[in-house]
Structure 1
Amino acid sequence: MKKDLQQNLCDEASFNGFYTSYITNAKNFAYYKCGDSDNALDLAQEAFIKIWENCGKIDFTKAKTYLFTTINNLFLNKVKHQKVVLNYKNEYQGPDKTNLSPEFVLEEKEFKTKLQNAIADLTDGQREVFLLNRIDGKKYREIAEMLDISVKAVEKRMSGALKILKEKIPTL
């Protein structure tokens, strides 16, 4: 029985059905990971390519979980690369070309730093749950199904995320 399911994923018509069913969810999941619709589409499509390339190794009943895990891993690889780029960019301080007061520029920079640090302090799970709930408006049950975890786990991640954000940025 399991072999039949694997063969179904390798069947082009079955794969096309799987793709059609999950491309929107995959793209949205990737969007909440990276925050850019173009990169989100790229991540989702790369994940589907990996599924197609490994269709014989993937149980059709677990393909959805494999899809979201692959998107997450692809995103984490891109983040590693972006950190190198951002570190270089942050070290270079070009001339200030704005007409804003120095106090405003300093306050804005401090707030952005606090916000980035607070988000960076969230675990991957907390960040996913927080963005899916607060940005996408998904219910805990939907998030639990998408991430293949329990609703209690979603609640715990959200609680932890909110606690960290409140501690780090009390003005939010």
Structure 2
Amino acid sequence: MRKELHTKICEEKVFESIYNTYSKDLTDYLYYRYGEALNPKDKAQEAFVKLWNNCKKVSVDKAKSYLFTVANNMMLNAIKHQKVVLKYQTDKPNIYHSESPEFILEKKQYFEKYKAVLASLNDEQRVAFLLNKVEGKKHGEIAEILGVTQKVVEYRIYSAFNILKKELEGFKIK
């Protein structure tokens, strides 16, 4: 009887039923847990491919658990990979530049001062400013996210900008 369960999942109709039952839930779970950046739809599809490749090893009653575990592990691996890539990008020395060591030091000091001034802003100003300037969100989008009016968002961004301009010599934003 145990062997029948293993072979049933390899049948196309059974696998299709499992796919139809769990694909949306799995994709939604990955999206809610990790966001859109790591392609939750792709990871869900890859989990189903792994299930199909291991259909003889996974029983029907363990299929859901297998899918969610495999997909979750794929997302965690993608996050680890992103961290390694980011670390490499920040640690990698800039070999192809003609900047003097003094300029590099000044740039580093300026960036540290910039981070300190950003940290000194109040939370509302910092969040609105970073959503606008770093993530590129429009004032209306930020207002929806924060649950305030667009005028409040504009005030927070411009007051943060003025503080940065006052504290940092030559501060400009594109």
Q: Counterpart amino acid of 1:56?
A: K
What is the aligned partner in structure 1 of residue 77 from structure 2?
77
Distance 1:106 1:91, change over 3 A: farther
Residue 96 of structure 2 corresponds to which residue in structure 1?
none
> Judging changes above 3 Å, is the alpha-carbon distance between structure 1 residues 38 and 13 closer, same or farther for their aligned structure 2 residues?
farther
- Aligned partner of 2:61: which letter? T
Asked which structure has the greater CA Rg, the reply is: 2
Q: What CA distance in whole angstroms lies between the structure 1 residues aligned with 2:120 and 2:86?
A: 19
The one-letter code matched in structure 2 to 1:48 is F
1:9 paired to 2:9: yes
Structure 1 runs of 4+ aligned residues shifted over 3 Å read 88-94, 102-108
Unaligned runs of 5+ in 1: 97-101, 113-172
SS in 2 for 1:55: coil
Q: Identity of aligned pairs, percent?
A: 40
Gaps of 5+ in 2: 93-106, 111-115, 128-174
User: 1:56 is paired with a residue of what secondary structure?
Assistant: coil
Whether contact under 8 Å (1:19, 1:48) holds in the other structure is yes
Aligned to 1:49: 49
Cα offset for 1:40? 0.2
Q: What amino acid maps onto 1:40 in structure 2?
A: P
Counterpart of 1:47 in structure 2: which amino acid? A
User: In the alignment, which residue of structure 2 is the partner of 1:24?
Assistant: 24
Q: CA RMSD in A?
A: 3.2
Residue 90 of structure 1 deviates from its aligned partner by 4.9
The TM-score with structure 1 as length reference comes to 0.52
Using the TM superposition, give the Cα deviation of residue 79 of structure 1 relative to its aligned residue in structure 2, in angstroms: 1.1
Contact 1:51 1:58 in 2 (8 A): yes
* Structure 1 contact 33–75 (Cα < 8 Å) conserved: no
Alpha-carbon distance in 1 for matches of 2:62, 2:2:
11
Q: Which has the higher contact order (CA 8 A, sep 6+)?
A: 1
Q: Show the 5 A alignment for 1:117-136.
A: none
Match of 1:130 in 2: none
1:151: which partner in 2? none
Task: Please tell me whether the aligned partners of residues 38 and 78 of structure 2 are also in contact (alpha carbons under 8 angstroms).
Answer: no
Letter in 1 for 2:47: A
Which residue is equivalent to 1:65? Answer: 65
Alignment coverage as a number of residue pairs:
106
Contact map agreement 2:31 2:40 (CA 8 A) in 1 = yes
The CA deviation at 1:88 is 3.7
Q: Which moved more, 1:73-82 or 1:49-58?
A: 73-82
Q: CA deviation digits over 1:8-51, x for unaligned, max 9?
A: 11001110110011001110111133211771001100000000
User: Normalization by structure 2: what TM-score?
Assistant: 0.51
